[in-house]
Amino acid sequence: MLNWTLALPEIVLGVSGLFILLGGVIPKKESFFPVSMAVIGALILAAVLVLGQGEGTAFLGQYVADNFSRFAKVLILLGAALGLLLALDFNEKAGLGRFEYPVLMLFATLGMMVMVSANDLMSLYIGLELLSLSLYVIAAFDRDNPRSAEAGLKYFVLGALASGLLLYGASLVYGFAGTTNFDRLADALSGDDVGTGVVVGLVFVLAGLAFKVSAVPFHMWTPDVYEGAPTPVTAFFATAPKVAAIALLMHVLIGPFGDLSAQWMQVIWVCSAGSMILGAFAAIGQRNIKRLMAYSSIGHVGYALMGLAVANDTGYRGVLVYMAIYVVMNLGTFAVLIAMRRRGRALEQVEDLAGLGKTDPAMALWMAVFMFSMAGIPPLAGFFGKLYVFLAAVQGGFWTLAVIGIVTSVIASYYYLRIVKVMYFDAAPDGALDARPASLTVVMASTGLLTLLFFLFPAALIGAAQVAVASLAG
Amino acid sequence: MEAFLATPVGVLALTVAQAMALLVPLLIGVAYLTWAERKVLAAMQLRKGPNVVGPFGLLQPFADAIKMLMKETIIPAGASRVLFILAPMITFMLAMLAWAVIPVNDGWAIADINVGILYLFAISSLGVYGIIIAGWASNSKYAFLGALRSAAQMVSYEVSMGFVIVTVLLCVGSLNLTEIVRAQADMWFIIPLFPMFVIMFISALAETNRAPFDLPEGESELVAGFFVEYSSMSFALFFLGEYANMILMSALITILFLGGWYAPFDIAPFTWIPGPMWFVFKICFCLFVFIWVRATFPRYRYDQLMRLGWKVFLPFSLVWLVITAAALKLFGWLPGAV
Amino acid sequence: MIAAAAFYLFAAVLIAAAVMVVTSRNPVHSVLFLILAFFNAAALFLLAGAEFLAMILVIVYVGAVAVLFLFVVMMLDVDFAKLREGFQRYAPVGGVVGAILLLELLLVFGTWQFASDAAGFRLNPAPAGVDNTRALGRILYTDFVWLFQLSGLILLVAMIGAIVLTLRGKTSTKRQDIAKQVARSGSVNLRQPALGAGLGAIGIERPPVEPPPGEKPRQVEHAGHGHDHGHGGHH
């Protein structure tokens, strides 16, 4: 009845998190590195379990496992593990090498997995809170740095507001439908006479979730938090939680509110168009590269939402493909940003990349690959991501959205290419960057190769996305 | 008579009569507890103790009460008048209120409610308000420091007390106090749960701000702590409240661990004595230990107090709770298992 | 009849206390009114037959949370006049937002209608003959065990967060190592020296303290001893 073995990946991850925490607390000396390794091990173990996971619902329908959740979870676990790998060296150097960091990342990842597998408004909220609370803390992890503390506080206050909106919406939906379970909600909302209350509730839920994916009217926190938080934290923020939030958004909209698609399509349409436009224009003037990446991520969310706004299987498949490629590109880009360190000081300005083409040609090459890919230049992975959502939009007759997408990606390529230009054509101001640690090279090279060679074997990812979407809509 | 008792007025009258039957002996008990404490302390310190007013000083409590009543009530300048007067009343009232659910004998409770133990726990956790309000309303540094100490101390020790209570509940399967005592008909819980009894007793000392945990009034640093500004009747209420709380805590320990009204052995000379008498004996025994501890131990330092509460009692009671639960489950002793 | 009267009494006090929480000038009074409000809410739970919830409300909110509230409010010197400074300025904006929300709510509830089969989805009430503590336990620990455990993890994360963001390992304070203290007891010698003999007679000699050159030896305050006031003075 409870069928709890279905949730084994989450349970194993949570329990190993507790043990790892214990292992970090008990020794007298700081144990950042071993704890991080243990967390990466736990994440890999969870990923293996996810791959072997069965399908069905557990805990009286509060938990669901299917191909969609499997796709999203593998992506999340991958993003989290690589994100932690990025932090290893940076945190030691920045004095943030405390074992709580990997532990909090583990719990954040657990929260994401719960979100993705949520089949009930309550488990949705609980997962979201577990994720958010961990993120608030790691945003402020560099507690002696006022900008980091500010980032944490800002994220916390706005995040709490978003949670409030979400809860308010959920309570309205519950009040009108009489259930919080997704399957039963879908039944209850399948009739023609759906009240205004549910629609109002749905809009509130959407607002709460849009905050988490930083889609346009709810994006204000993103640049400040991305800039203020330590760079590995920003890298983490920009990858795994985004996937989780987008997956959750898809799950909620397509599952219980699938029959209300006429209502939510408009909302998503506006969010998508707004995010693309803002992401393209606001990033142009940015000197701080983390801030630039914040606007870039808003723009990317806009492209992903385009697939959702289309509201058909091709569109959904496009979203999943887009998010997978987005995670890979972003991790690589952030690996480069984290490696930006001259004479021990971390650098964050675009100009600091100047002359990289001469001083460190390998890193400059990877960075160029990522930037071209983000700009959507064929044959790199980013191009295919955009291709699938644009294709879906065109097929679905969303011409306006497709045109906005194409125009904004042309505009956005300006600032991506500017970085390439700075790297290769500007003179280096003072000397080369510090030697980068091996962990960053590993992340850079692996994500770079994936981005570069994606066009050789697109079928694997697209096939997986296709299967995932089939289980979602079916 | 029966008909009268069924009417609302009758119910009210009956309740008042029951309350009186419980509260009057209780108040007399409180008065004599102050006398007993002085006598016991004196004996332990090789002194005589009060022996002037009445035979063996037996009228001393009444002499003290009259003295208190005759004195002037002083309200310090800048004090928050309403709260200043209210604080001792809260303390005293809470100490009385809790007795509503105490079963003195099988079925002898004024209100035999389902969640009796939670009620007791709730009332005892409110005791801190009298102190903290008194400390704040006095507009005095010493009083305020005393109040802060007391608030931190009582909240800390409540946590482990909660775990002790949960452990007992696991063995009983009910939150009803009468049921808790009945579950001890064969064996008092002090035997299987002895470590929890020790924790409960020490937490009770901290909860009632008794020595060696009497830092809230620590006279060597804070003059008299939270009630330094009180005089006359308002002081007396604090005083009585503390002793009533001691009796209440002893009653709670008796119910949870010492088998309430049951005789220690179910054989002839013990069973001649009625249940309520046993109940009173056990309370008196606990009270004696309370006083004994005061005479024996020096006061704790505040950091030691906090360390004991959070780093020793809390983990220990948690572990013991898990052990108890595991044992009950493994051996199939869980009460009311379906 | 009595139950209805009690309900109206508690509800009225609850609302009055809640209003006082917001309007009272002194923050400490606000918290005290909040406690009063909690109490009356607990009483309302009792009237509704939810005795377990009532007690938990008192234990958790009144017994622990509000104490900490009171603690903090008493320690902080909150200047309410200053806090209210912006009130006039932001009142219109807040009012407009509030009015819009209210309007929307009216719009929503004007067309309130349950989904056609909502009644069937609703959870069944507690089965007869099960007291509500047991019923709650079943729901929490069986039906919703997944959410319950995850909520526990959320609290754990909150705890880790509080520690991470505030705890600083102090290097200046001395730590008490109790095990070490206890283990030391064997190394202390107690001896009864002959009366009148100095310390030198029994072979205990203090190393001569060399005053640093050019500096007057510091006058050591002779600590009064032997004036033990003894116990007592408890009251």
Q: What is the pLDDT along chain B (338 residues), one digit of tens a residue?
A: 677 777 778 888 888 888 888 888 888 888 889 888 888 988 888 888 888 887 888 888 888 888 888 888 888 887 788 888 888 888 888 888 888 888 888 777 777 788 888 888 888 888 888 888 888 888 888 888 888 888 888 888 888 888 999 998 888 888 888 888 888 888 888 888 888 899 999 988 888 888 788 877 766 677 777 777 787 788 888 888 888 888 998 999 998 888 888 877 777 777 777 878 888 888 999 999 999 998 888 888 888 888 888 888 999 999 999 998 898 888 877 776 44
- Across the interface, do C111 and A196 touch by the CB < 8 Å criterion? yes
B122 and C28: CB-CB below 8 Å?
Answer: no
Q: Which pTM value belongs to this model?
A: 0.84
State the residue for tokens 């969609």.
A68
Distance from CA of C157 to the nearest CA of A (A): 6
* DSSP three-state, residue A63: strand
Q: Hey, are the CB atoms on C67 and B155 less than 8 Å from each other?
A: yes
Considering only A2-11, A299-308, B209-218, C223-232, which range has the smallest mean pLDDT? C223-232
User: A118 to chain C: nearest residue by CA?
Assistant: C147
**Cis peptide, bond prior to residue A9, ω within 30 of zero:** no
Closest residue on chain B to C51 (Cα): B115
Q: Which of A245-254, A364-373, B274-283, C6-15 has the lowest mean pLDDT?
A: B274-283
Asked if B294 and C234 touch (Cβ cutoff 8 Å), the reply is: yes
Count CA atoms closer than 13 A to A193's CA, side-chain side: 8
Could you tell me if residue B3 is inside a domain?
A: no
Within 8 A of C60 by CB-CB distance, chain B residues are none
Greater model confidence, C203 or A205:
A205
Calpha distance A144→B287 (Å, rounded): 52
Examine residue A115 and state whether it is found in any structural domain, yes or no: yes
Q: Is A65 on the interface with C (CB under 8 A)?
A: no
Q: Say if residues B250 and B287 touch (Cβ distance below 8 Å).
A: yes
Taking the CB of residue A398, how many other CB atoms lie within 10 A of it?
22
Tell me chain A's radius of gyration from C-alpha atoms: 21
**Residues contacting residue B21 through CB under 8 Å, at least 6 positions apart:** none
Q: B302 CA to chain C: closest CA distance, Å?
A: 13
For testing contact with chain C, the best of A133, A135, A183 (most C CBs within 10 A)? A133
Give the residue with greater pLDDT, B140 vs A102.
A102
**Counted domains in chain A:** 1
A202 in contact with C, Cβ within 8 Å? no
User: B20: closest CA among B100, B90, B89?
Assistant: B100
Measured in angstroms, the CA of B115 and the nearest CA of chain C are apart by 7
pLDDT digits (tens, 9 = 90+) for A237-247: 999 999 999 99
CA-based R_g, chain C, Å: 33
- Give domain status of residue B267, yes or no: yes
Closest C-alpha to A329, from A282, A286, A297: A297
Backbone angles phi, psi at A345, to 5 degrees: -95, 135
Of the candidates A14, A123, A198, the beta carbon closest to that of C153 is on A14
DSSP structure string for A318-364: HHHHHHHHHHHHHHHHHHHHHH-EETTEE--BGGGGTTHHHH-HHHH
- Start-to-end CA distance of chain C, whole Å, equals 48
* B304 contact C CB<8A: yes
Nearest CA in chain C to A197: C108
Q: Is C28 in Cβ contact with B118 (below 8 Å)?
A: no
Across all residues in chain C, what is the average pLDDT?
Answer: 75
**B24 residue type, one letter:** V
In terms of Cα–Cα distance, which of B70, B192, B222 is closest to B131? B222
In this predicted structure, what is the pLDDT of residue B319? 92
Where do the H-state alpha helices sit in A3-53?
8-25, 32-51
Cα torsion angle, B81, B82, B87, B93, sign: positive
Q: Using alpha carbons, select from B21, B29, B20, B10 the residue that is nearest to residue B284.
A: B29
Residue that the structure tokens 């800390």 belong to: B156
Q: In one letter, which amino acid is A351?
A: E
Q: How far apart, in Å, are the Cα atoms of B168 and each of A87, A152, B306?
A: 47, 43, 24
C62-73 pLDDT, tens digit per residue, is 888 888 888 888
* φ/ψ (deg, to 5) at A57: -115, 155
Of the candidates A117, A99, A50, A105, the residue with the CA atom closest to the CA atom of residue A80: A105
Per the CB < 8 Å rule, is C62 touching B126?
Answer: yes
Q: Is residue B131 domain-resident?
A: yes
Indicate yes or no: CB of C165 within 8 angstroms of CB of A140.
yes
pLDDT of C224 strictly over 60: no
Quick: pLDDT tens for C69-106: 888 888 777 666 666 666 777 788 888 988 988 887 78
Distance CA B257, CA B289 (A): 15
A104 chain-C contacts, CB cut-off 8 A: 157, 160-161, 164
Phi/psi at C130 (5° precision)? -115, 125
Nearest-angstrom CA–CA distance, A245 and A251: 10
Residues C71, B148: C-beta atoms closer than 8 Å = yes
Which chains have 3+ CB pairs within 8 A of B?
C
Are B164 and B214 members of one domain? yes
The answer to the question of residue A1 being in a domain is no
Do B89 and B26 lie in one domain? The reply is: no
Q: Closest approach of chain A CAs to the CA of C29, in angstroms?
A: 27
Count CB neighbours of B269 within 10 A.
Answer: 8
Statement to judge: residues B33 and B154 lie in one domain: no
Query: Among B43, A414, B116, B222, which Cα is nearest to C51's?
Result: B116
Cβ proximity of A388 and A395 under 8 Å: no
In a domain, A22, yes or no: yes
Per-residue confidence (pLDDT) for residue C228, from 0 to 100: 42
SS3 A288: strand
What is the model's pLDDT at position C232? 42
Which one of C117, C123, C155, C157 makes the best mutation probe of the A interface by having the most chain A beta carbons within 10 Å?
C157
**Residue B288 belongs to some domain of the structure:** yes
Same domain, B96 and B38: no
The pLDDT value given to residue A188: 81
Asked if the Cβ–Cβ distance from C234 to B294 is below 8 Å, we say yes
Asked if residue B51 is part of any domain, the answer here is yes
Spatial distance between the Cα atoms of A416 and A292, rounded to a whole number of angstroms: 9
**By the CB < 8 Å criterion, does A362 face chain C?**
no
The DSSP element (H or E) to which B94 belongs, if any, is helix B81-97
Q: Is B191 domain-assigned?
A: yes
| Subunit contact C115:A60, Cβ cutoff 8 A | no
Average pLDDT over residues A395-421: 90
Cβ pair B206, B294 in contact under 8 A: no
**B174 and B53 together in one domain:** no
Q: Which residue is it, tokens 């063996």?
A: B56
A263-287 pLDDT per residue, tens: 888 889 999 999 999 999 998 888 8
Radius of gyration in angstroms for the set of CA atoms belonging to chain B, rounded to a whole number: 21
Are A154 and A225 within 8 A, CB to CB? yes
CA distance B289 to B250: 10
Phi, psi (deg, nearest 5) at residue C233: 65, 20
Tell me if B19 is assigned to some domain: yes
- Cα–Cα dist B141/B134, whole Å: 12
- Which H/E stretch holds residue A65? strand A63-65
How is residue B226 annotated by DSSP? Answer: G
Q: Report residue A5 as tokens.
A: 């073995």
In a domain, A406, yes or no: yes
Q: Give buried/exposed letters for A338-357 (b at 16+ CB in 10 A, else e).
A: bbbbeeeebbbebebbbbbb
Element housing B253 (H / E) = helix B232-257
Q: Which amino acid is at A440?
A: L
Given B49, B70, B91, which residue is the final one in a domain?
Answer: B70
Total number of domains constituting chain B: 2
Which residues in C lie closer than 8 A to residue A110 (C-beta atoms)? Answer: 153
C interface test, pick of A28, A30, A59, A163 with most C CB neighbours within 10 Å: A59
Residue B133: list chain C partners with CB under 8 A: 32
pLDDT tens digit sequence for A423-434: 888 887 777 778
Can you name the residues that pair with A58 across neighbouring β-strands? A63
Q: Please report whether residue A2 resides in a domain.
A: no
Interface of chain C toward chain B, CB-CB under 8 angstroms: 2, 28, 32, 35, 51-52, 55-56, 58-59, 62-64, 67-68, 70-71, 74-75, 131, 133, 176, 231, 233-235
Residue A119 C-alpha, separation from nearest chain C C-alpha, in angstroms: 12
| In a domain? residue A297 | yes
pLDDT at residue C234, rounded to an integer: 47
Expressed in percent and rounded to 5, the helix, strand and coil fractions of chain A are 80, 5, 20
Nearest to A109 by CA among A244, A287, A256: A244
Q: Which residues, 6 or more positions from C59, have their beta carbon under 8 angstroms from its beta carbon?
A: B118, B121, B122, B125
Kindly state whether residue B82 falls inside one of the protein's structural domains: yes
Q: Kindly list the residues from chain A whose CB atom is less than 8 angstroms away from the CB atom of residue C153.
A: 14, 107, 110, 130
Q: Determine contact, residues B309/B160, Cβ cutoff 8 Å.
A: yes
**Residues 6 or more apart from A58 whose CB is under 8 A from it?**
A2, A3, A4, A5, A6, A7, A64, A65, C146
Tell me if C59 and B239 make a contact (CB, 8 A cut-off): no
pLDDT one-digit tens code per residue, A221-237: 899 999 988 999 999 99
> Does residue A85 form part of some domain?
yes
Q: Is C176 left (phi over 0), alpha (psi -120 to 50) or beta?
A: beta
Cβ within 8 Å, pair B122-C70: no
Residue B36 in 3-state DSSP?
Answer: helix
Could you tell me if A35 and A102 are in contact, meaning their C-beta atoms sit under 8 angstroms apart?
yes
Interface contact flag, C116 A193, Cβ < 8 Å: yes
Q: Where does chain B have alpha helices with state H?
A: 2-6, 8-44, 60-70, 81-97, 116-137, 141-172, 177-182, 194-207, 219-222, 232-257, 268-271, 275-296, 302-307, 314-330
Which structural domain range is residue B211 located in? 74-331
B104, B137 contact by CB (below 8 A) = no
Structure tokens at B9: 């007025």
Q: What is the DSSP letter of B223?
A: T
Is the CB of A137 less than 8 angstroms away from the CB of C153? no
Q: Two tokens at B137?
A: 């309303």
Q: Do C67 and B151 touch (CB under 8 A)?
A: yes
Residues B49 and B43: their CA atoms lie apart, in Å, by: 7
Set of chain C residues whose Cβ sits within 8 Å of the Cβ of A198: 115
Q: End-to-end CA distance of chain B, in Å?
A: 43
Q: What is the sign of the dihedral through the CA atoms of C48, C53, C55 and C58?
A: negative
Residues near C228 by beta carbon (within 8 Å), at least 6 away in sequence = none
Contacts of C115 in chain A (CB under 8 A): 176-178, 188-189, 191, 194-195, 198
**Residue C125 predicted with pLDDT over 60:** no
Q: What is the structure's pLDDT at C170?
A: 66
CA pseudo-torsion sign C132, C136, C139, C141 = negative
Q: Does residue C223 register a pLDDT over 50?
A: no
Show the domain range for A319.
7-473
A350-359 pLDDT tens trace: 888 888 888 8
Residue of C nearest to A17 (CA): C153
Instruction: Give me the helices (H) in chain C, please.
Output: 2-23, 27-47, 51-56, 66-75, 80-83, 87-110, 118-121, 132-138, 145-166, 178-183
